[in-house]
Amino acid sequence: MMQIRDRIVELVRVPAGQLRPHPKNWRLHPAHQREALRGLLAEIGYADALLARRLPDGSLELIDGHLRAELTPDMEVPVLVLDLDEQEAAKLLALLDPLAGLAEPNEEVLQQLLAEVQTEHEAVREVLESISGGLPLLPEASEMPPDVPIPHTFQVVVECKDEEDQRLLYERLTQEGYRCRLLSL
């Protein structure tokens, strides 16, 4: 049987602004993700601990949870302190999100779950719609109020020369405050 070490030393609560961002944090957080996380934090609150390691000077260096810490700098947040050296922390930083992203959905169970989830926050709703395969999450017809006004939307579709061009344009427009969705045909 494989030996698996428990690397969690303690759970502490510290002001998020006191946590040091990892200098090799490779994750970028576009405007739509920031807004969706703000919405989820407003609707649910903190429901997961940040991950950090203690440095020789006693400070805590983040491994996971950079955006949460950035959005709530004055809030005391839960942090799991891990017993990791610099190389182990870099390995976890590099692999934690990509490993989670390798999970494959059970579409039937996912659609049932999404049918139960409700939100008041537009950015959270957009994330839920993207998870559902782009299908809008609408209430059942019997639950819809009569004469729901449908707002006008104005959209532009831009043809890009390749995926990199699409990524750069997407990043530029989201930084300028536009709500964008990626589309590949």
pLDDT in tens, 53-75: 999 999 999 999 999 999 999 99
Integer CA distances (angstroms), 175 to 29, 37, 58, 76, in order: 10, 16, 35, 28
pLDDT in tens, 82-101: 999 999 999 999 999 999 99
> What is the arithmetic mean of pLDDT over 156-166?
84
> What is the arithmetic mean of pLDDT over 124-149?
66
* DSSP category for residue 146: S
Higher pLDDT, 171 or 119: 119
**How far apart (Å, rounded) are the C-alpha atoms in residues 126 and 114?**
12
Among the residue ranges 40-49, 79-88, 108-117, 139-148, the one predicted with the least confidence is 139-148
96 CA to centre of own chain: 13
pTM: 0.70
pLDDT confidence of residue 162: 85
Among the residue ranges 28-32, 38-42, 162-166, the one predicted with the least confidence is 162-166
174: which 2 tokens?
Answer: 């989201």
